[in-house]
């Protein structure tokens, strides 16, 4: 957590309202509206709202250009500082503790950066707002985007997970010869299996490899036609996997000595 945030003045105006989330038993009775987003929150989270807004607005152009998609309307972001109310808002009563956010009906629901779920820090939660925003844009291109591709783009664009966690997982996978395939991480709505297979770390590097080897134009085309590797990338799925493994061997299999155990 970053205590320095507390010293900053809020540069955005807040207004009280009643219709932002009136179903929720713990009402999010404050909101701040920006060019592209409407943030709903409670008073105890007001100290971090400027950071949330800056994270979203400062990344809006880059991401909408990369994905060639824009928001048609302002997107609602709900911030729930209580983990239970976060899970309720997400409609996930048995959600694992590590969940930092997700999508509701046409809106984004995240934890409070001031009260990060176990295993996460302030910045992880902050960037989760960006991660979910990326999902909204990817789903606009293709609502059936495979899990590995959808999560990979969200993680790669948002950088919401610690780099060391990704590096450590992937370099261990290289050492053990256990790199999942795209299909291994195509787990649909089964996020537990995706997490257990280190899906967040590997899918990040899969998209990183595609962007570096083929560019964003091909990445967007692959989202549109995720099963047409040959047509979009001029390469079979098996050969793309080989190229991906080569890529991570170059960029992730060295430098282990400097890896920290930071979570
Ligand atoms: Zn996600």
Rounded to the nearest angstrom, the distance between the alpha carbon of 182 and the centre of ligand 1 is 16
Rounded to the nearest angstrom, the distance between the alpha carbon of 151 and the centre of ligand 1 is 5
Which domains are assigned to the chain? 3-141 (3.40.30), 147-258 (no CATH)
Q: Which of 79, 184, 206, 74 is nearest to 136 (CA)?
A: 74
Phi-psi region of 191 (alpha: psi -120 to 50; beta: other; left: phi over 0): alpha
The stretches in the chain having pLDDT less than 70 are 1-26, 254-263
User: Which residues are found with C-beta within 5 Å of the ion, ligand 1?
Assistant: 151, 154
CA distance 147 to 145: 6
Q: Are strands 107-111 and 75-80 parallel, antiparallel or unpaired?
A: parallel
Rounded to the nearest angstrom, the distance between the alpha carbon of 121 and the centre of ligand 1 is 17
Give per-residue pLDDT as tens, 99-144: 999 999 999 999 999 999 999 999 999 999 999 999 999 999 999 9
Rounded to the nearest angstrom, the distance between the alpha carbon of 146 and the centre of ligand 1 is 12
CA distance 225 to 208: 18
Rounded to the nearest angstrom, the distance between the alpha carbon of 257 and the centre of ligand 1 is 30
Question: Quick one: tokens of 82?
Answer: 């209580």
Give per-residue pLDDT as tens, 140-173: 999 999 999 999 999 999 999 999 999 999 999 9
Rounded to the nearest angstrom, the distance between the alpha carbon of 131 and the centre of ligand 1 is 6
């Amino acid at each position: 957590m970053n205590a320095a945030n507390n010293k900053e003045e809020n540069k955005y105006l807040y207004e009280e309202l009643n219709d932002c989330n009136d179903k929720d038993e713990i009402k999010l009775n404050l909101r701040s509206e920006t060019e592209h987003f409407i943030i709903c929150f409670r008073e105890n989270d007001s100290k971090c709202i400027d950071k949330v807004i800056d994270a979203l607005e400062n990344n809006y152009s880059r991401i909408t250009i990369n994905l060639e998609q824009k928001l048609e309307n302002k997107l609602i972001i709900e911030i729930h500082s209580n983990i239970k109310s976060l899970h309720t808002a997400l409609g996930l009563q048995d959600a694992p503790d590590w969940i930092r956010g997700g999508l509701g009906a046409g809106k984004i629901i995240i934890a409070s950066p001031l009260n990060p779920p176990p295993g996460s820090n302030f910045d992880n939660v902050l960037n989760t707002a960006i991660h979910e925003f990326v999902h909204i844009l990817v789903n606009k291109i293709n609502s059936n985007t495979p899990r590995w591709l959808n999560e990979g783009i969200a993680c790669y664009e948002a950088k919401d997970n610690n780099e060391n966690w990704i590096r450590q997982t992937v370099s261990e996978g290289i050492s053990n010869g256990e790199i999942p395939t795209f299909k291994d991480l195509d787990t649909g709505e089964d996020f537990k299996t995706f997490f257990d297979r280190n899906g967040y770390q590997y899918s990040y590097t899969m998209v990183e490899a595609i962007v570096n080897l083929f560019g964003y134009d091909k990445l967007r085309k692959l989202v549109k036609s995720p099963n047409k590797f040959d047509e979009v990338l001029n390469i079979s799925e098996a050969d793309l996997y080989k190229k991906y493994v080569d890529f991570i061997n170059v960029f992730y299999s060295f430098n282990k000595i400097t890896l920290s155990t930071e979570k």
